[in-house]
Amino acid sequence: DIVMTQSPDSLAVSLGERATINCKSSQSVFYSSNNKNYFAWFQQKPGQPPRLLIYWASTRESGVPDRFSGSGSGTDFTLTISNMQAEDVAVYYCQQYYYTPRTFGQGTKVEIK
Amino acid sequence: QVQLVQSGAEVKKPGASVKVSCKASGYTFSDYYMHWVRQAPGQGLECMGWINPKSGGTNYAQKFQGRVTMTRDTSISTVYMELSRLRSDDTAVYYCARENDYYAFWGQGTLVTVSS
């Protein structure tokens, strides 16, 4: 199975500051035929299902605030939360959907400093 | 609007089976594969496999092969996930998630507790 490794495992960010989460895939999830990275980011709050934030590595899902952005290609990806808000406290997961089975990172817990 | 509504929490004994349902609405049921993802308490997310609602075809993660069965009833737009020979480490929240490549829509989750 493809291993997705997130860093850091947790981080504390001051309100209004930037949070950066990295994710590395054990194999490339880039498909050259359509020039797409089969990669997504999710946010999960306690007692809730995951919420899709970013797909195709950098496309923001409808309704997701523009302070969330995704970047990267191939095996290395980043989720950035600019201007951290209290409601952004959550666990964030990366996922590849290129290979079967689809696999997630171990999660990054983001808190307020 | 797309909705995925799952069945309620279950408590099972080790060795038993559990069947969780996921009822879809707000879209054409047969147009999108449905996946199952589980999350043990305090742990990460794990994909179990998927079902093609149109054909009934399935693909299971190797870890669950032989223990998991995914089925569907197109007449009521519902998919099912049955897990057999339950162990304590199967205690988790089980989610259905609709695929359009990525998982844009999720069910609310079903807690399955395995305890003697």
Tens digits of residue pLDDT in B74-103: 999 999 999 999 999 999 999 999 998 999
Residue A103: its chain B contacts at CB < 8 A? 47
| DSSP helix, strand, coil percent of chain B (3-state; round to 5) | 10, 55, 35
**B99: closest CA of chain A, how far (Å):** 10
A33-92 pLDDT, tens per residue?
999 999 999 999 999 999 999 999 999 999 999 999 999 999 999 999 999 999 999 999
Whether A107 contacts chain B with CB within 8 A: yes
C-alpha to C-alpha distance for B33 and B22, rounded to whole angstroms: 13
| DSSP helix, strand, coil percent of chain A (3-state; round to 5) | 5, 50, 45
Quick check: bond before A101 cis, omega within 30? yes
A80, A71 Cβ separation under 8 angstroms = yes
B32-42 pLDDT, tens per residue?
999 999 999 99
A93, A5 Cβ separation under 8 angstroms = no
Q: Would the CB atoms of B104 and A55 count as touching at under 8 Å?
A: yes
DSSP state of B31: G
C-alpha to C-alpha distance for A26 and A8, rounded to whole angstroms: 17
B39-43 contacts: CB < 8 A, separation 24 or more?
B39/B92, B39/B93, B39/B95, B39/B109, B40/B89, B40/B91, B40/B92, B41/B91, B41/B92, B43/B92
Residue B103: its chain A contacts at CB < 8 A? 40, 42, 50, 52, 95, 97
Please count the residues of chain A. Answer: 113
Give the pLDDT of residue B100. 87
A78, A20 Cβ separation under 8 angstroms = yes
Paired tokens of A111: 């808190």
> Cα torsion at B78, B82, B87, B91 (round to 10°)?
0
Judged against a pLDDT cut of 90, whether residue A30 lies above it is answered with: yes
Determine the residue of chain A that is closest to B47 in CA distance. Answer: A102
Whether A50 contacts chain B with CB within 8 A: yes
Positive/negative CA dihedral, A22, A25, A29, A35 = positive
Q: Would the CB atoms of B104 and A61 count as touching at under 8 Å?
A: yes
B8-34 pLDDT, tens per residue?
999 999 999 999 999 999 999 999 999
Q: Which of A52, A93, A97 sits opposite B44 (nearest CB)?
A: A93
**A53: closest CA of chain B, how far (Å):** 9
